Amino acid sequence: MATWAELQNELEQVEPEGRGAFIAERSHRSIAEIARIYDRNILYYASGFLQKPQVPGLFTSINTEDINGYMAGVHGHDFEKGLLLILHTPGGLVESAQTIVSYIRSKYNAIDVLIPTYAMSAGTMISLACDRIIMGRQSQLGPTDPQLIVGDRPYSSHSIVGQFAEAQRDIIRNPILAHAWAPVLRSFGPALLQEARNSIAYGQNIVQNWLQRYMFSESS
């Protein structure tokens, strides 16, 4: 398999108007080779890959629109063969991850997930709903840290809870710091704190249920 630098060099030799077709052709070729070796249906989901700073996080993380892509992607599959999900994502919304898991689990009895590089947050949650996780030396999973969309940007639920806890400690230690923290806390608000706590608890609960039902079903 070509290295990233080799692929970049090849891409630079292609005229700009043909680069989209080049990437699509190379992707299809690689996925076909994986399907030949693995003998399963292949579904490739990637979000936030080479993410540009000016692109809102809402459009590059796991979100409510993604289920449409999954439905289109599995169309025509032989569901008896099972699924290999190739997953690359920085994460996203817990509710969207749950929708994706419910859908693909309704279609396939056997699901393995392949993590080429990383599947964080809600991506980790989706991985834990599969029967097996296949990773390389460089592959990464992360904490099941749900993301909340504030405006058009995703924020870590754990970081929101942690920031409020830090503000509380600082203000108890030195009340004058309340003035410094006020603009930060005002921009989030207490409702978001509770939503972050609820999201963390909800995510932990559904991941536990998925592990018991799928990956560790034979140990229970």
10-residue mean pLDDT series, the chain (220 residues): 76 86 84 85 79 46 86 92 93 89 95 92 93 92 82 80 89 88 78 87 92 84
CA distance 71 to 75: 6
pLDDT value, residue 58: 44
Give CA–CA dist 122/141, Å, rounded: 10
How many Å apart are CA 40 and CA 200, to the nearest integer?
Answer: 33
In this structure, is residue 186 part of a structural domain? Answer: no
> Is 201 a domain residue?
yes
Separation CA 78–CA 84 (nearest Å): 12
CATH number at residue 71: 3.90.226
pLDDT of residue 62: 83
Helix/strand/coil percentages in the chain, nearest 5: 55, 15, 25
Counting the structural domains of the chain, the total is 1
What pLDDT shows up at residue 57? 44
* Residue 49 pLDDT: 53
Is residue 159, in this structure, part of any structural domain at all?
no
Say how far apart CA 24 and CA 30 lie, in whole Å.
10
pLDDT of residue 53: 45
**208 falls within a domain:** yes
Residues 105, 76: contact at Cβ < 8 Å?
no
Stated as kind and residue range, the H or E segment containing 83 is strand 83-88
Q: Which domain holds residue 70?
A: 19-149+193-219
Residue 179 lies in a domain: no
| pTM recorded for the entire structure | 0.78
Domain membership of residue 40 (yes or no) is yes
pLDDT attached to residue 124: 94
CA–CA separation, 5 vs 9, rounded Å? 6
Half-sphere exposure in the Cβ direction for 159 (13 Å, CA) = 10
Answer whether residue 7 is part of any domain.
Answer: no
Residue 54: the pLDDT is 45
Name the nearest CA neighbour of 139 among 161, 154, 123, 157: 123
Check residue 160 and give its pLDDT: 87
Q: What is the pLDDT of residue 119?
A: 92
| Burial tier of 36 (Cβ tally within 10 Å: 0-12, 13-18, 19+) | exposed
Examine residue 168 and state whether it is found in any structural domain, yes or no.
no
